[in-house]
Amino acid sequence: MFKKLLSAVLSAATAVSFIPQIPAKAEEAVRYPYVMFAGSADEGAITINSNNVCINGSIATNGTISTTAQNFNVNGSRTENAQETMKFFFDKIDSRYFTSHVDTYFEDYFLEDTNINVNIPIEAEGDIGLTGNINITSGIKALNDVVLSGNVENSQDSVICAETGDIIIDTDNVNLNGLVYAPNGCVNITAQNLNINSVIIIADTITITCPNLNANYNSQMAEFIGNGSEPINNDDIEIAAYGEYEEETEAFNVYWNTTVPDGSFDIQASDDGENYTSIGTVNNTDSFEISFTEPFEKKYIKVIETANSGKIAESVPFVVISTEDDYDIEVLDSDEDGLPDIYELKIGTDPYDQDTDDDGLTDYQEYVYTQTDPLVYDSVTEGVSDADIDTDEDGLSNIDEFTRETYPWTTDTDQDGLSDYDEIYVYGTDPLVADSDEDGVDDGSEVKLGLDPNDPATNGVPDGEYVIPQTIVADSSILSTVNTTESPYELSIDIKTNGDAEKELTVDESGYSAAIENDAMIGASFDVEITDTCNPEEIVLKYDIKEGYTQNTLNKFSSLEEFQGIKRLNVFRFDEDERMLLPVETEYDVKNNKLCAAVNETGTYCLMDMEIWLDNLDVEMPAENNVPAPKAAPKAASKAPSVPTSKWEPEYVNAPIDLVFFIQNEDSTIQNEDSTNERELYFESEKNLIKQLSLYVFSKNSNVRVYIIPYDSTYASLLLTNKGTAFSSDYMTLNNTLNNLKYITPGQGGSRKEVSYYIRNTLSLRDDSDKFIFHLINSSTVGKLDEDIAAIEYAYSHQINYSQITPVENYFTYTDLMHQTITARDGLDLILADDNYETIRQHIEGHLSAPRPVYDIIVPTKWKKISLKGELIPNGTTNSDTDALTDWEEIDEGKIKVNSDNSIELPVFCMADLVGHLTKFNQNGDYNFLVNDFAPRYYLPILSDPTDEDTDDDKIPDGYDSDMKMPDDWYAFSDPNPLKSDINETVLEHDFFSVDYEFKEGAQEDWSLANNNNHASYGGYQGWFGTYGIYENQKIFGSGFPFGHITGHDVRSEGCGLIAVADMFYYLLLQRNIIDGSVNQNNRYSHLSFDQYTDYVKNLSQGVVFFPIIGGTVSAYISGNLSQSIDKIQKAFELNLDSNWCISTDKNTCLKRIKGMLNNDIPVIYSCCVSEDNALQLYCFHNDYDIVYNTIEYKDQDGNNKEVYPVKNHYMVATGVIEFSDDVENIIGRKAMIKTATYGKMYYVDFDEYSENLSVVTNIFNIERSK
C-alpha cells in the first residue's frame, strides 16, 4: 500500500503498453448483494428522510432502518439486524483506480472552483474537500474525510472512498453512479434533487435527506468488488511525513499521514541521514512545530509512530535545506540516482543502489529515458545488457549516449539534421550543439550546402553571410500549401542567398488572397517571406504547368503567338504600397510546359491568364495591321458645377430576381385512389407552369435564380440541379432539373408545416433581389392555419412576394382567411387553370423593381469592376456593402482629387504603363495595341472593397458597429488590415472523424450528456473503456508493460497516448480507404459506430508498446519506443511515414512543424508534461469565433465565461492551427490557438501558453511522408 503515499509531483500520465494476449475466460464472479449496507448495529443505522422512496435492489444493516417516507418501496430484500461483517475492498479499489496516473497528496487537499472535473484519480493522506460544480469520472480517496459541496456532484461510475473517515455530500443537486465507500465512517447525503442511477453505498452508517429518493443497483460495480472481504491487519501501519516552513512565524511544521491515526509520534532529526535524535513526541495528532535555534546546512526529518497496539512504523525521511531566506524541502534520494526513495520503493528498485540490476544504467536512466526494466539486466535482448543496446537505433549504445550526454531516445539530440553518430564519427561536430562552429548556420545545413561545419568562414567570408545558389524542390514541405493536388501547377524556387533557404524561407497562401482573387488568376496566390538573417540576391519562381491548364480558354487573343498556350500565362506581383496587381517579366519553356520569373524580392505572387485579364479591362483585339483607338475613359456626368459629380455616369440595370417554387410531389391515397391519375396530371401541369414562367423570366433578365423545393408528407428539401448547384441560372439547367422530379404515388400527401418551417428557418435569398415564392399544391396536405399564416407573414416581412395555387376551389377549411391574408400582402391566390401562366407573368412584371443606377469602376487590387450603389461623393453616405464604413471611407482619398465644387477626379492608368516593360510584347508591332496604348482609364483606389463587407474574407468586417447585421461567426470589431487576412487557419484536408456514442446498456455514464447532448464525438475518448463495461477487466493488451498487465480500465485512466496514436492513424487510414466508416453529410467516410471504434483500438494495440510520461519535479520523458511503435503500425499499413519525437524548444520551429504536418494532411500527436502550477488550459470554445470573446461552453454561477479544462500530463491530437496577426493579437490577447481533439471533444490550446513549457517531454511527434 506504499503507493498511497506518493505526492502529486510523482503522478504520471501514461500511454500504457500493450502486446498481444488472448484473455482467459474468468469464472463468474459473486456479486456484492446490496444497494446500501450499513455496518453499525445502532438504531437508524440507515436513515432516509424523504417523502417517497423506491430502491431497486436490496438493502441491509446490522442496526435498523429509519425513514420518514410515506411510501417506502424496496424491490429486493430489506434486512435489519443482519449480523454481517463489514466487507473491505481497499486493495481492489487501489488496483483499479489508484495504481498509477494519480494525483496524490501527503496532506489535506481542498479545492474550490466554479467547475471541478476529476478525470485523474485524487488521493490524499488527510481530508479531501471539493466545492463547486463537481464532475467525477475516476476516483477520489481520502485517508480521513471526503466533503463535497456546491451545486452538482455527478459521480460517473467512479469511486468515492474515505478509508477511516466520513463522506459528506451537501448540495442542491446530486447525481451518483458507482461506489460510495466509507466502511469506518458515515455517508451523509443532503440534496434537493437526488438521482442515484446505479450505485452501491457501503458505510458504518448511512443518512440520506432529500424530497424523493430513487436508487438503482449497480450490477457491474457489485461484480467488481465481489462479496468477499480482504484480510485487514489493524497493526499494519503506513506513515508518510513532509514539511512546510511558515515564513511569518519563522517556524517549521512537520506533518504526517498514517493509516492508524491513534498513537504516539516521535519526530526525529539527523544531520547526516544516519544518526537520528528525537526532537519531540506527540500523541494522537498529525503535526509538530519545530523552531531551529542553531544554524545548519541540511537536516533529515522522519516520524516514527508507535500505535496503541504496540506496532511501530517509520516514515521515509525528507530533507530540509537551509537557504539564505528560509528553507527548501526535498524528497530523499539516498542513492542519488534521480529517483526518490519513495518512488523506488513503489517500483521495487533498491533505494540504496543506483543500478539495481547491475546492467550499467542507473535505475533513473532505465525508468525515465530508455524505458528498459530496471530490475532485469537484459530486459530487451537476451544476453545483452540494457546499457549496450541501441534504443534509438542511431549507431550509439545507450551507455555511450549517456556518457556523451546525447539522448538515447532520438537519433539527433541537437536537432541540427545530423544524427548523433554522424556528428561524432563522420563530421567531428558537437552532437549537443546545433551550430558547432558558431557561424549562424546549423551543422546539418552546412553539410547540405557544402560548407565545413567546423569552419566558421568559407573563402574568407563568414558562413552566415556566404551566398550560395539553392533550390527548393516542388515536393519540399515548405511548398506544401501551394503544391496541392488541386493546384494547376507545381512550384519550385531557385534562390541565391546566405543561410539555409529551406529553413529560413516561408511560402504560404497569401493573406491578400481574397482581396486580389479574380477570374484571370490560375491557382492560388502565395506569399514568399524569408527571415531577417538572410539577404537574398536572386529569387526565381518556377512553374511546371499541369496538363489541362496549358490550352487557351477564352481565345480572344490566341491568334497572337504571345497569347498561345502557356505563353498567355504571366506572373503577377501585388504591390502593397500602390495596392495593385502588376505583371512581372516572365520566361517560357513551351516544349516542357514550364515558365519562370526572376522576381528577386519577397512578396505576394500569383499566376494570371493575360487573355482573361485584358478582357476584364475591356481591351479589344485590333483589326489586322491597324491600331484601334483605345476605349475612352468614362464621360463625366453633365450636371451643374454646384452639384457634386464623379467622373463616370451610372448604368441603369434591373434588380436580380429570385424565384422559389414549392411543389408538392407526393400523392395522397386518403383521397379516392381512382383520382390518382388526375392528381398526377396536376403535378405535371405545375411543372410545365414552372418551366413557362422560368423561360420567360430568363429571356427578359440577366441575373435570375430559380429554386425548386419539392415537399412530401415528411420533408421539404431543396432539389439540387443536375450541375449540383442550389439554383438554376439558365433555362436548360432548370428544364433538366425539373425533368428528374417524379411524383410519389401512392403516398401520404404533403406537409404544409414543412413548407412553413423551410420558409421561416432555411430559405436564404439575396438581399438586393426581387423575390417571389409560389406554393404549388396538387393533392391533400396537412397543416394548420397558424403555420400557413406564419409563412406568409414571414415572407412579407422579408420583402418576399408570396403566392399559392391550389388544385380546387375551397381547398382550405379556412379558404377565405387564407385568400385575404395572401392578397392583402399583394400575392396571388389561384386555382390551377390554363390561364395561370399569363396571370402570374403579369404579376411578376408588375412587381419588379424599377431599374437602379449602378456605378461601375475598376479596382486595381484584382482588376475587376465593382458596382457602387450610389454616387461617390466626398464624405457622402452611400454604403454599397452595408458595413459600418461608407464608400468614401473605404477608398484611398489621397489618390483622388477633390475639386472646389466638391466634384472628384479619379486616378488613371494606361495599358502601356502596365505591360510596356514586358519583353514578349516589344518584339514586333503585333502588340502595339498594348504597349502604345496611353489612353487613360479610370480606376478606384481602395483601402477596402466598398462592395464587400469583408474584403479579405477573414470574418472580421471592414468596419464594425453594434447595429450592423452580420453572420454569427464573424468577429465584432473593425478589421485593422481589411485587405490582408488577419487570421490564418491551417487545418487537415478533411473533417476529423467522429464516433457515434449513445447510452449503452450496462454503461454507467451517458457520455453524450457531457458533450452537450451530442452523440457525435470529435475523435476518440479513453473514458469509453474500462468502467463502462468495455473490456473492463480483461487482460486485453497483454503483459509487455514493465509494471504489470493492462486492462480496459487502464486505458480509461492512463490511455491518452494510445487514443492519440489510434486517432491519428484512424484519420490516415480513412483517407487511404484502408478502414471503413459510414458516410456523413459531406459524403466522407468519417463517422463510425461506438463498437467499431473500441474494437479498432483494441486490435491496433496488439504488439505495440506505449510507455508513460513521468511528470512533476522528479523527471519527465518521452520514450523512443513510441516512435518505434508508430513506425511498426505505419509499416503494417504501408503508409510510408517517417517519424521522430521533436525535442526542439524553439516555439517557431514547433509551430512550423505542426503546420507542416497539417498541410500534409497528418494529425499531430503532441504532449504536455507540466507541474500543477503550470497546468495547460484546454479551452472549451464552441467554434473559432468564440476564441476572441472567451465564449466557452460553461458559465459560472454569475454567468461569466470561465470554464477551462486544466491538464498536466497528457497526449492530444492537433487538428488545426489558428493564427492571428499582431494587430488582432493586440485586440484579443491571443496569437495562435491549436485546435485539439481529446476526451472525445474539440478543445483549443493557446500556443503561447503551450510553448512556454516546451521541453523534451512537452513537444510534438513529428511525422512526415516518406520521399
The tally of CA atoms less than 13 A away on the side-chain side of residue 15 is: 32
Rounded Cα distance between 1164 and 818, Å, is: 59
Can you give the pLDDT at residue 245? 83
Query: How many residues would you count in the chain?
Result: 1267
Q: Which alpha helices (H) appear in 1199-1242, and where do they start and end?
A: 1222-1228
Strands 657-664 and 770-776: parallel
Grid cell listed for 293 = 535555534
Rounded Cα distance between 445 and 502, Å, is: 9
- How is the chain split into domains, by residue range? 31-225, 467-510+512-616, 657-846, 855-907+938-980, 994-1265
Taking phi over 0 as left and psi of -120 to 50 as alpha, with beta for the rest, 791 belongs to alpha
Do the beta carbons of residue 775 and residue 801 sit within 8 Å?
Answer: no
Rounded Cα distance between 529 and 451, Å, is: 24
Q: Which residue has the cell 475518448?
A: 1021
pLDDT tens per residue across span 1216-1262: 999 999 999 998 888 999 999 998 888 899 999 999 888 877 888 88
Burial 1033-1042 (b: 16+ CB within 10 A, else e): bbbbbbebbb
Q: Looking at the predicted structure, is the pLDDT value of residue 633 above 70?
A: no
Can you give the pLDDT at residue 527? 96
| 283-295 average pLDDT score | 87
SS3 assignment, position 453: coil
Q: Which residue has the cell 452595408?
A: 882
Give the number of other Cβ atoms within 10 Å of residue 969's Cβ.
11
| 982-990 average pLDDT score | 90
Grid cell listed for 693 = 414562367
Question: CA of 1161: how far to CAs of 45, 435, 814, 1021, 1125, in Å?
Answer: 62, 32, 59, 22, 20
CB under 8 Å to 189, separation ≥6 — which residues? 169, 170, 174, 176, 207, 208, 209, 210
Rounded Cα distance between 59 and 77, Å, is: 6
Do the beta carbons of residue 228 and residue 221 sit within 8 Å?
Answer: no
Can you give the pLDDT at residue 1002? 41
Q: Which residue has the cell 526535498?
A: 330
Can you give the pLDDT at residue 1091? 79
Q: What is the DSSP string of 376-423?
A: -TTSSBTTB-TTTS-TT-SS--HHHHHHHT--TT-S-TT-SSS-HHHI
Q: Report residue 264's pLDDT band, with 50, 70 and 90 as the boundaries.
A: very high
Can you give the pLDDT at residue 1003? 42
pLDDT tens per residue across span 153-169: 665 578 999 998 899 99
Amino acid identity of 223? E
Rounded Cα distance between 1247 and 1265, Å, is: 25
Q: Report residue 1045's pLDDT band, with 50, 70 and 90 as the boundaries.
A: very low
pLDDT tens per residue across span 989-1033: 888 988 876 544 444 444 444 444 456 788 988 877 764 444 444
Of 1087, 1261, 1085, residue with least CA distance to 1166: 1261
Q: Where are the beta strands (DSSP E) in 165-209?
A: 167-209
Rounded Cα distance between 915 and 563, Å, is: 13
Of 329, 366, 369, 363, residue with least CA distance to 349: 363
Grid cell listed for 805 = 395555387
Can you give the pLDDT at residue 152? 63
Rounded Cα distance between 1061 and 1056, Å, is: 9
Can you give the pLDDT at residue 1127? 73
CB under 8 Å to 469, separation ≥6 — which residues? 494, 495, 496, 538
Could you tell me how many helices (H) and strands (E) the chain has, helices first? 26, 64
Q: Looking at the predicted structure, is the pLDDT value of residue 1050 above 80?
A: no
pLDDT tens per residue across span 190-208: 988 888 878 999 999 999 9
Q: Which of 646-655, 988-997, 1145-1154 has the lowest mean pLDDT?
A: 646-655
What are the CB-based long-range contacts (under 8 Å, 24+) for 816-825? 817/785, 818/785, 818/788, 821/789, 821/792, 821/793, 822/792, 825/792, 825/793, 825/795, 825/796, 825/801
Q: Report residue 724's pLDDT band, with 50, 70 and 90 as the boundaries.
A: confident
Q: Where are the beta strands (DSSP E) in 250-311?
A: 251-258, 263-270, 276-283, 287-290, 298-307
pLDDT tens per residue across span 552-607: 999 999 999 999 999 999 999 999 999 999 999 999 999 999 999 999 999 999 99
Q: Report residue 1132's pLDDT band, with 50, 70 and 90 as the boundaries.
A: confident
Strands 983-987 and 1209-1220: antiparallel
| 1027-1048 average pLDDT score | 41
Percent of the chain with pLDDT over 90: 49
| 297-304 average pLDDT score | 93
Give the number of other Cβ atoms within 10 Å of residue 538's Cβ.
13
Can you give the pLDDT at residue 636? 33
Write the CATH number of the domain with boundaries 657-846. Answer: 3.40.50.410
Can you give the pLDDT at residue 1074? 66
- The Cα angle at residue 174 between residues 171 and 179, in degrees rounded to 5: 120
Rounded Cα distance between 1010 and 753, Å, is: 33
Q: Which residue has the cell 487514443?
A: 1059
- Say which DSSP state 1002 is in: T
Amino acid identity of 754? E
Q: Report residue 368's pLDDT band, with 50, 70 and 90 as the boundaries.
A: confident
Q: Which alpha helices (H) appear in 241-354, and where do they start and end?
A: 341-347
φ, ψ of residue 1149 in degrees (nearest 5): -65, -45
Question: CA of 447: how far to CAs of 320, 423, 441, 451, 496, in Å?
Answer: 51, 11, 10, 6, 17
Of 1061, 1071, 1220, residue with least CA distance to 18: 1061
Rounded Cα distance between 1171 and 7, Å, is: 12
pLDDT tens per residue across span 444-460: 999 999 999 999 999 99
| 814-823 average pLDDT score | 91
Q: Report residue 98's pLDDT band, with 50, 70 and 90 as the boundaries.
A: confident
Burial 453-481 (b: 16+ CB within 10 A, else e): beebebeeeebbbbbbebebebebbbbbb
Of 784, 910, 806, 894, residue with least CA distance to 858: 910
Averaged pLDDT score across all residues of the chain: 83
Grid cell listed for 1222 = 499582431
Rounded Cα distance between 987 and 1183, Å, is: 14
Rounded Cα distance between 456 and 634, Å, is: 64
Q: Looking at the predicted structure, is the pLDDT value of residue 482 above 60?
A: yes
Q: Which of 78-82, 940-944, 1191-1195, 1230-1234 has the lowest mean pLDDT?
A: 1191-1195
Can you give the pLDDT at residue 675? 66
Do the beta carbons of residue 230 and residue 88 sit within 8 Å?
Answer: yes
| 612-624 average pLDDT score | 87
pLDDT tens per residue across span 1160-1203: 899 999 988 877 677 888 887 655 555 554 443 333 334 444 45
Do the beta carbons of residue 128 and residue 145 sit within 8 Å?
Answer: yes
Of 1166, 1164, 1147, residue with least CA distance to 1155: 1164
Can you give the pLDDT at residue 673? 52
Who has greater pLDDT, 450 or 1118?
Answer: 450
Rounded Cα distance between 1237 and 1215, Å, is: 7
Q: Report residue 11's pLDDT band, with 50, 70 and 90 as the boundaries.
A: very low
Q: What is the DSSP string of 1119-1136?
A: -HHHHHHHHHHHHHTT--
Do the beta carbons of residue 577 and residue 909 sit within 8 Å?
Answer: no
